[in-house]
Structure formats: C-alpha cells, structure tokens
A and B are shown apart, each in its own frame.
Chain A
Amino acid sequence: MIAELGHYALMLALGLALIQGSMPIVGARSDDMALMSMAIPTALAQFAFVAIAFGALAICYVTSDFSVLNVYENSNSAMPLIYRLTSVWGNHEGSMMLWVSILAFFGALVAAFGSNLPAKLKANALAVQAWIAAAFELFILTTSNPFLRIVDAPFEGRDLNPILQDPGLAFHPPLLYLGYVGFSIAFSFAAGALIEGRIDAAWARFVRPWVLGAWMCLTLGIAGGSYWAYYELGWGGFWFWDPVENASLMPWLAGTALLHSAVVMEKRGALKIWTILLAILAFSLSLIGTFLVRSGVLTSVHTFANDPRRGIFILAILVFFIGGALALYAWRAPLLKQGGLFAPISREGALILNNLFLTCACATVFVGTLYPLALEALTGQKISVGPPFFNLTFAPLFLPLLFAMPFGPLLGWKRGDLLGAAQRLLAAAMLGAVAIAAAFALQHGGPVLAPFGVGLSIFVMAGALIDLAERTLFLRLPLGAVLRRAIGLPRSAWGTAFAHFGIGVTLMGIVAVTAWGSERIAALKPGGSVEIAHYRLTFDGLFERPGPNYRDLVGHFTVRRSSGELIGTMEPSRRTFPVRNMATTEAALMTRGVSQLYLSLGDPNPDGTVPVRLYFKPQVLMIWLGALVMFVGGGLSLSDRRLRVGAPRPAKTRPVLQAAE
C-alpha cells in the first residue's frame, strides 16, 4: 500500500512538473502574471509529492518490506536502522529518487523564498527547473521504478553491498547530490535569462548563494568520499583519479570557476556571457557525472546489459539539456550586453586568470576521463588513463593557480598594483622559503619537489592570513581597533581567506602523504612485530567477534614507540557478510596529531601467518581538514548580508568600519 502510494505520488509529481514547465514560460512570453505565478504553487506541490514518494520508499526500507523488489535486493532486516535508511540511496533506483527529491526541494525553495526575483526570470527559471525534474521523474517511472512489487514476497532481503554499509555512506551521496543538483539552480537561472534575453548584475546576486551552497556541499561530499575510500577500501589512498571520482571533481572545478566569475559579474557587471556559460557547464558536468556513475558504463557493463534503456535514457537527457542549453546560449548570448572595462592587472584580471586555469584543469580531467570511453567506442581498443596522466597534466595547471591565488584578493578592482601586492606578500614568501629550507633539512631521501610543495602550501596559507591582516590593519592599529575592524569586515572577505587557507592546508596534507608516507607489508605470526616510522606494532593474535549482520575476524595489535613506551592498541578486521558471501577489510586507524597509522589485515595464510599492510600517513588528516576549512569559508561567505537579496538594511550603518573593497 505504502509503495503504491509512493508510486502514485511520483506520477502526480511528474504531471505537476509538466504544468510547471510549460505554463510559466507561456506566461512570461505573453506578460500574463497569472500564468507566470503558477510556477510557485506547482513547484511547492511538486516537491510535496516527490517528498511523499521518497518518504514512502524510506518507510518500505525501514520496515523491511521485502515485497518491494528494490528493498529485497538492497536491504536486510538484520541491518542496523541507519543502514536500512541509507540503503534507500545505496542503489540505482533509490539514488535517482534522492536526486529528484533534492531537485524538487531546491525548486520549492526558489518558489518560496524568491519573492524579490524579477517575475519573468523567476517564471522561466522555475520552468527550466521543472523540465529537469520531469525528465528525471519520467526516467525513474519508466526505467528505474523503485516501487515494483514481487509476487511471492521473500522473508529476507539480499542485503546492501557490504562496502556501502558504512557511516560514510550516510552523508556522502546526499552531500554530493546537494552539490550536483545545487548547480541546477544556476543552470535554470542561466537558461531563464537566455530565454528572456536580458541579464544584469543582479542575476549574479541571485545565483551566487546557490552556487556557493552547492560548492560547499560538493566540497564536503568529495572530501567525505575520499575519506571513505581511504579507510574502507583498505588501500590507504585518498584519491585514485578513478573516473567515478573525476566525475565529481569536474563539477567542483567548474563550480569553483563559476563562483569566482559570478563575483566579477556581481561587483563589476563584467564577464556576463562567460558566467552564463560556466553556469551551464557546471550543471552539464554534474549531469555527465551522474551519467558516468549511474549508467554503468564505467564500473560494469551489466547495467547496460540488463536494461539498455537506462543508459540510453540518461544519455538522451544529457543530450537534450546540455545540447539544448548550449544551443540556446549560442543563439541568445550575443544579445546580452557587454560589461565594464578593467585593466589586466586587477582583481577582475586575477579572477579571469583563476577561471582560465580552473577551466583548463577541468578540461584535462574531462579528456582523461572520457578519452578511454570514446576510444573504446570508436576502435574497441581498451586503455586506462591513470594517475600518471593526471599528475602530468592537472598538477602543472593547478600549481601556478595556487601560486597566483594569494595575489588575487590583494589586488584592487579595475586597476591593481601588482608590485604593492607582491611587497605585502613578501612575509608569506619568506615563510614559504624557510619552510622549503626546513623541509630539505628534515627529509632524508624524499622527492626533491616535495619541499617546494610544502613551501607553496605555507605561502598560500600565509597569503590568506596576510589578506586578513591587511584588511584589519593588523599591527598598524591598536589591537582593539583591529578587532573592531575584523568584526566589521564583510563576511565574504573572511570566507575568501578561509577557503584559500583551506586549499593550503589540503595541499600540505597531499604533499606530506605522497612524499613521506611509508608502507610495510609483512606476514606475522602471533608475537611477531613490525616497525614503521618510530612505531612498533606487535601482533597479539586473532579472535572472532559477531556483528549484527556480519562476522569479524579481528587482529589485536599493540602499538609502542620504538623506545618501548606503550601507546595503545589497534584492531583491524576481516568482515564477512554471509548473506552476500562477501568479505571486506576494516582497516584500523590510529590518529597521532594530524598523522595516522593505518593497518589492514589480509586473509590468514594456511601456515598460520597473517598478512598485514601497515602505513604511516604523515599529515594525512590535513587533506580533509582543509576541505572542512573551505566549507566553513563557504558558509561565512554565504552568511554575508549582501548575498541575502532583499534583506533589510541594517538599522545603524557604521561607515567608518566599512572595509575598503
């Protein structure tokens, strides 16, 4: 009954989306306010019905209703409640439901809180949003229906893929989707503006919070996925340049570029056409990411083999939306008016440089990810493009960007003073140089480039701090005045500094782990020990530990310093899931500061030894902490008063404390 209710609600949502996608556009063309305002109730109602459908599916999962095929295939009544809930999106059909739910939710937010948007832009944008929703709802209903029943209901389900039974999965996919789908708002607004044929700086102000929010979620989602892969796959790597990862990195790069170009458009009215293009590209790359991951072209052919309609349907959605938007862009963009003038050395110029490098880096990832697919489709030749390719292309494009990054915020709008900025960054450069020298002195036999990486990351972090110091006149005013200036700074200035600082933190982690991480592989008998980087691990023995829907074979290890001082114990395990007859490696992590010891267990050998893989990961946590700092930066920027369109002006303005922009 619940499943049928969900199915029916989804069909109603599709019907509402079709109305929402057509009437408001007709209204916008014929200046009919009544038709235009239809977008609002339909968007709200569409969200309500999609939410009912999603809720129905979630109830089926939580109550373990195995008469529903999707639940039977991906759940099991022995799973803890949290995994029964997360398995809603741990499969193809359910994850598409999540996609559509977030899409409809964002549409409803625009409808509910966009009262200060120009009526036509709002009507057109909501209509475009409804087309996307309708396409995906049709996709779910025709090819990926999660509400199908089984005639003879089984007693027990087939369990969720054990690798996905992890707390990381609880928030990783929703965050990624929030990011992907968040860009749909920018896309819809871009398409809406193109349909209407006019655009102004206010457009950027409407869109920027959405882009910022999407970017924040995507940042956290990618970082979460990376940490999940790090501890769950037993491999100890934080980034594999796997196509599935690249699929989420590409929208992030395009979204980062969009974030910066939208600033130029908002502040200076320039780069309008380019910003529109980026808005289209960011969501197009999100769609491509969904296609790559969900259609099965990458991880397995079977999704295609089982139901070729699915892949073709998503491909059709891709072609329609990306092709349609680009065609609309080619047709209407020349009508848009060009923006203001600025000198090459200026804040605008720096942001253009940022955009250039980000889009080119994004293009290399795009080519590296899709070239093997294209080659195989055309010639049947199978190749793999792995980390060496990306290290040779992405890194050389990203490093100059990082070097230039601290200069940007120190340059003025319209006309900047490069020499002045360089002088102000002198302290940062000196810190970086000291860090390079220190790293050279401390490292024994690491890669030659690593100390320069450390220097660059210190330069980036110090540069972000100098930006703040310059704005608050730190050391030039008494501390109280500096504090008051700091409080008076626009939140977006804080956001910029945080986000840029976070990049430096992440870079530091990546450099340290890549250059100075160490690895030991050994086969240990009980009592045996293995040493790594000032630590000695002693293997005490194996024991069994039952779990709710699995069995753990746990290895008990005692960790000591090389000097003999006891630090603690580590318990990596081999986890066997009887329902699917699968085993996963549950690595044990021991955090020391921001570094980690990483221990994973292999299958015990017949001779009684146990293979272990031990890693020392110096500064590894900085990789994800940096992402967290970027997320906070995004949040600060999002809370900036100027971004909240229509927010009441502050009662008392304190012009003295307004920071120089």
Chain B
Amino acid sequence: MTRKQRRLLLIGCSLGVLAVAVALMLNAFRDSIVFFNSPSDVAAKHIAPGTRFRLGGLVKTGSLVRGDNLKIRFDVTDGGRELSVVYQGALPDLFREGQGVVAEGALDGAGVFEADTILAKHDETYMPKEVADALKKSGHWQDDYAQRAALPVGGGSK
C-alpha cells in the first residue's frame, strides 16, 4: 500500500466511526430527550398521556398526603396552575412542602402526573434552576426565594 492509500484508509475509517457516532446521537436525540414543563406549560401544551417529561414547580403547602407503602400524593404549583403528582418510594432529603421540586414521569389517563423519579438536587437552596426560571416566567417569583438562594451555596455541587 502506498502512503496515499494508507492515508485514505485512515481517513475513511475515521469518517466511518464519526458517521456512526453522529447517527447514534441523532437517533438518541429523537428518543431519549425529556422536556421540562411547569404546570402552566402542561395546561397550555396538552401533553398526551404517556409522554415522559419533567415537571417542576413548588410543592403546594398542605397538599402532601401519605398513603400506604410509601405512596405519596402532592400538588405542584407554579403560582398559576396546579397539577397533582403521585409517587411511590422514598423521597430525597431535600423534598419539602413549599419548596421547589422536579419530578420525572408521565401523565396518566385522568390527568394526574405519575412520577417515577423525584430528583434530588445537590445544593441546599431547594430551588432547582428550572423551577426558578419557570416561576420567574409566570411572574410568581418572590424575593424571598432569591434571598434564600443568596445564601452561600458552599461548593453547591459534588
């Protein structure tokens, strides 16, 4: 093989692997992306039952109901709309009423959000970024959160 042929082979292989990588990524982007929605978004977008998404907002104070076998039910609000969430399992350390929460799951036929994951965020501000933005967008952001958020985040992450 001449030098030129070898180089062509090398470039061909590289492009081949790269093409496979790009194809894999495009395929994965089609199937595995999860969108973030606030309760108002859910109401506005008419999301079909069974479509996975992330729901974010505040856990409405006084809405938390504990059932048997670690089942819980609570409402998520962004100040405008509310959405009921059911979940079974242990809750992360930072889950509290009146605080921000991000849940992942899908709507059931009755319009209740069935969460299979309640996300634990690593910092102690109780206000995930997405939730803060959603609250600001809906005009229900209170300076109180900002003050709480202004506390030192102390490393903030792992």
List residues of A whose CB falls within 8 A of some B CB. Answer: 73-74, 90-92, 95, 158, 160-161, 163-164, 225, 228-229, 233-235, 244-245, 293, 296, 298-303, 305-306, 341-344, 352-353, 356-357, 360-361, 363-364, 367-368, 371, 381-386, 388-389, 392-393, 396-397, 521-523, 580, 582-585, 600, 602-603, 605-606, 611-613
In contact, A605 and B54 (Cβ under 8 angstroms): no
List residues of B whose CB falls within 8 A of some A CB. Answer: 1, 3, 6, 9-10, 13-14, 17-18, 20-21, 24-25, 27-29, 31-36, 54, 66, 68-70, 88-93, 120-125, 127-130, 132-133, 146, 149-158
In contact, A341 and B70 (Cβ under 8 angstroms): no
In contact, B90 and A600 (Cβ under 8 angstroms): yes
In contact, B125 and A385 (Cβ under 8 angstroms): no
In contact, B89 and A521 (Cβ under 8 angstroms): yes
**Nearest CB on B from A52, distance (A):** 24
In contact, B32 and A392 (Cβ under 8 angstroms): yes
Report how far A341 CA is from B2 CA in the complex, Å.
10
Which B residues touch A91, using CB under 8 A?
152, 154-155
**Nearest CB on B from A357, distance (A):** 6
Given A90-B155, A383-B36, A583-B93, verify A352-B10 contact (CB < 8 Å).
Answer: yes
Report how far A582 CA is from B154 CA in the complex, Å.
13
Query: Which B-chain residue is minimally distant from A575 (CB atoms)?
Result: B93
In contact, A386 and B32 (Cβ under 8 angstroms): yes
**Nearest CB on B from A1, distance (A):** 24
Which A residues touch B129, using CB under 8 A?
298-301
Given A344-B9, A389-B33, verify A90-B24 contact (CB < 8 Å).
Answer: no
What are 13 A-B contacts defined by CB distance under 8 Å? Answer: A161-B156, A163-B122, A299-B123, A300-B149, A300-B156, A302-B125, A344-B1, A383-B35, A383-B36, A388-B32, A521-B70, A602-B91, A611-B70
Which A residues touch B88, using CB under 8 A?
521
In contact, B90 and A602 (Cβ under 8 angstroms): yes
**Nearest CB on A from B127, distance (A):** 8
Which B residues touch A74, using CB under 8 A?
152, 154-155
Query: Which B-chain residue is minimally distant from A574 (CB atoms)?
Result: B93
Report how far A603 CA is from B25 CA in the complex, Å.
40
Report how far A605 CA is from B27 CA in the complex, Å.
44
**Nearest CB on B from A456, distance (A):** 19
Which B residues touch A605, using CB under 8 A?
66
In contact, A302 and B150 (Cβ under 8 angstroms): yes
In contact, A523 and B20 (Cβ under 8 angstroms): no
Option from B13, B93, B121, B133 in Cβ contact (under 8 Å) with A585: B93
Query: Which B-chain residue is minimally distant from A375 (CB atoms)?
Result: B33
Option from A235, A356, A384 in Cβ contact (under 8 Å) with B34: A384
Given A383-B34, A584-B93, verify A225-B152 contact (CB < 8 Å).
Answer: no
Report how far A521 CA is from B34 CA in the complex, Å.
26
In contact, A296 and B156 (Cβ under 8 angstroms): yes
Given contacts A300-B125, A388-B28, 10 further A-B contacts (CB under 8 A): A296-B156, A356-B13, A361-B21, A383-B33, A384-B54, A388-B31, A396-B20, A582-B124, A583-B93, A602-B91
Which A residues touch B70, using CB under 8 A?
521-523, 602, 611
Given A300-B149, A301-B133, A343-B1, verify A389-B155 contact (CB < 8 Å).
Answer: no
In contact, B33 and A613 (Cβ under 8 angstroms): no
Report how far A296 CA is from B17 CA in the complex, Å.
34
Report how far A384 CA is from B151 CA in the complex, Å.
26
Which A residues touch B68, using CB under 8 A?
523
Query: Which B-chain residue is minimally distant from A306 (CB atoms)?
Result: B150
In contact, B157 and A298 (Cβ under 8 angstroms): yes
In contact, A580 and B124 (Cβ under 8 angstroms): yes
Which A residues touch B6, using CB under 8 A?
341-344
Query: Which B-chain residue is minimally distant from A607 (CB atoms)?
Result: B66
Query: Which A-chain residue is minimally distant from B16 (CB atoms)?
Result: A356
Q: Inter-chain contact count A-B, CB under 8 Å?
A: 174
Report how far A584 CA is from B130 CA in the complex, Å.
23
**Nearest CB on A from B2, distance (A):** 10
Report how far A91 CA is from B13 CA in the complex, Å.
45
Which A residues touch B24, using CB under 8 A?
364, 392-393, 396-397
In contact, A389 and B28 (Cβ under 8 angstroms): yes
In contact, B27 and A92 (Cβ under 8 angstroms): no
Report how far A397 CA is from B34 CA in the complex, Å.
23
Which A residues touch B14, using CB under 8 A?
356
Which A residues touch B92, using CB under 8 A?
234-235
In contact, B157 and A158 (Cβ under 8 angstroms): no
Which A residues touch B152, using CB under 8 A?
73-74, 91, 158
Report how far A384 CA is from B101 CA in the complex, Å.
15
Q: Which of A225, A383, A584 has the most CB of B within 10 A?
A: A383
Query: Which A-chain residue is minimally distant from B56 (CB atoms)?
Result: A382
In contact, B155 and A95 (Cβ under 8 angstroms): yes
Option from A367, A381, A384 in Cβ contact (under 8 Å) with B25: A367
In contact, A603 and B32 (Cβ under 8 angstroms): no
Query: Which B-chain residue is minimally distant from A371 (CB atoms)?
Result: B29
The 8 closest A-B pairs by CB, nearest first: A388-B32, A382-B36, A392-B28, A73-B152, A161-B154, A360-B21, A602-B90, A299-B157
Query: Which A-chain residue is minimally distant from B151 (CB atoms)?
Result: A158
**Nearest CB on B from A234, distance (A):** 7
**Nearest CB on B from A161, distance (A):** 4
Q: Which of A293, A352, A353, A602 has the most CB of B within 10 A?
A: A602
Which B residues touch A361, using CB under 8 A?
21
**Nearest CB on A from B148, distance (A):** 10
Query: Which B-chain residue is minimally distant from A229 (CB atoms)?
Result: B158
**Nearest CB on B from A193, distance (A):** 23
Report how far A439 CA is from B146 CA in the complex, Å.
54
In contact, A244 and B93 (Cβ under 8 angstroms): no
In contact, B91 and A225 (Cβ under 8 angstroms): no
Which B residues touch A225, using CB under 8 A?
158
Report how far A425 CA is from B66 CA in the complex, Å.
58
In contact, B132 and A301 (Cβ under 8 angstroms): yes
**Nearest CB on A from B33, distance (A):** 5
Query: Which A-chain residue is minimally distant from B38 (CB atoms)?
Result: A382
Query: Which A-chain residue is minimally distant from B95 (CB atoms)?
Result: A603
Query: Which B-chain residue is minimally distant from A172 (CB atoms)?
Result: B158
Given A299-B121, A360-B17, A393-B21, verify A523-B93 contact (CB < 8 Å).
Answer: no
Query: Which B-chain residue is minimally distant from A160 (CB atoms)?
Result: B154
Report how far A605 CA is from B157 CA in the complex, Å.
29
Given A91-B154, A602-B90, verify A233-B120 contact (CB < 8 Å).
Answer: yes
Which B residues touch A90, using CB under 8 A?
154-155
**Nearest CB on A from B132, distance (A):** 6
Which A residues touch B153, using CB under 8 A?
92, 161, 296, 299-300, 302-303
Query: Which A-chain residue is minimally distant from B125 (CB atoms)?
Result: A300
**Nearest CB on B from A340, distance (A):** 10
Which B residues touch A383, using CB under 8 A?
33-36
Query: Which B-chain residue is minimally distant from A235 (CB atoms)?
Result: B120
Report how far A523 CA is from B69 CA in the complex, Å.
6
Report how far A385 CA is from B69 CA in the complex, Å.
31
In contact, B31 and A392 (Cβ under 8 angstroms): yes
Q: Which of B27, B121, B146, B154 has the most CB of A within 10 A?
A: B154
Which A residues touch B54, using CB under 8 A?
384
Q: Which of B18, B124, B130, B150 has the most CB of A within 10 A?
A: B124
Query: Which B-chain residue is minimally distant from A603 (CB atoms)?
Result: B91
**Nearest CB on B from A452, distance (A):** 19
